[in-house]
Each structure stands twice: as C-alpha cells, then as structure tokens.
C-alpha cells in the first residue's frame, strides 16, 4: 500500500509559512526551508521588541515630563512624589502628552503637586 502523505495539510502549512515570509528577500521568501527560518526569527524579534517598545516609550515619557518639570524648577522625582501626595492618578503617558501639547494644564497639575509637597513637608 502506498504511503499517505497528507498532501493538502502539508501544502497548507507550507503555504502559510511562505505567506508570512512574503517581505523577505531572495530565497527567504521563495523556498520553504529558508522561509521557515526567516519567519521563526521574525516572530522571535517581534515578541522581543513588543517588550522593548513599552520600555522605550516609558523612557520617552519620563524624559518629556522631566523636561517640563525642570522648566518650572522641580525635578522629576520630586514631581512624582508630589503626585502621590496630591493623590493625582495620571499615568506617565497622559502627563507627557499634557506637557507637550497643553503646557497650561500641566502647569496647573504642577502647582497642585508643589502645594501638596509643601503640606507634606510641614
């Protein structure tokens, strides 16, 4: 009896890999053996860099908040301490956006933070 190869499923599996490797150059997008390596490596990088993206954006937000704070004579760490003291629950993404696009709103928050820091110290 001839060996059953399950050709439709195998073809579909290979086609799926080749479709994922469509953007690669040369054999990495044409030949299954190389396309498989390209897609595995691409998926590894995608997973890794989703984590890195979160880290780099948080760094950017911290830099923007720090720059806006220092314009008003307070540093980032004191600002965050004051936010906690004033019980203002805004995340860094929103604070950075306010610092860049709405300086007046950021200044109002900063004034509340400075007031909370003064009452905390007293």
What ranges do the domains of the chain cover?
Answer: 7-121
The pTM assigned to this predicted structure is 0.79
77 to 71, 81, 99, 100, 104: CA distances (angstroms): 14, 6, 16, 19, 21
| CA dist., res. 96 & res. 68, Å (int) | 9
| CA dist., res. 36 & res. 44, Å (int) | 12
Q: Say whether domain 7-121 belongs to CATH 1.10.1900.20.
A: yes
Per-residue pLDDT of the chain (122 residues; tens, 9 = 90+): 788 889 999 999 999 999 999 999 999 999 999 999 999 999 999 999 999 999 999 999 999 999 999 999 999 999 999 999 999 999 999 999 999 999 999 999 999 999 999 998 87
From the list 92, 91, 88, 89, the residue with the least C-alpha distance to 111 is 88
């Amino acid at each position: 009896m001839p060996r059953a190869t399950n050709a439709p499923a195998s073809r579909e599996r290979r086609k799926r890999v080749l479709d994922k490797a469509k953007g690669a150059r040369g054999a990495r997008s044409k030949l299954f053996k190389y396309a498989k390596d390209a897609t595995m490596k691409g998926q590894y990088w995608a997973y890794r860099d989703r984590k890195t993206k979160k880290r780099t954006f948080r760094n950017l937000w911290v830099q923007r908040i720090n720059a806006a704070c220092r314009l008003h004579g307070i540093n980032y760490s004191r600002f965050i301490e004051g936010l906690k003291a004033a019980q203002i629950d805004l995340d860094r993404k929103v604070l950075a956006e306010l610092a860049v696009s709405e300086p007046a709103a950021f200044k109002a928050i900063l004034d509340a933070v400075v007031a909370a820091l003064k009452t905390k110290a007293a």
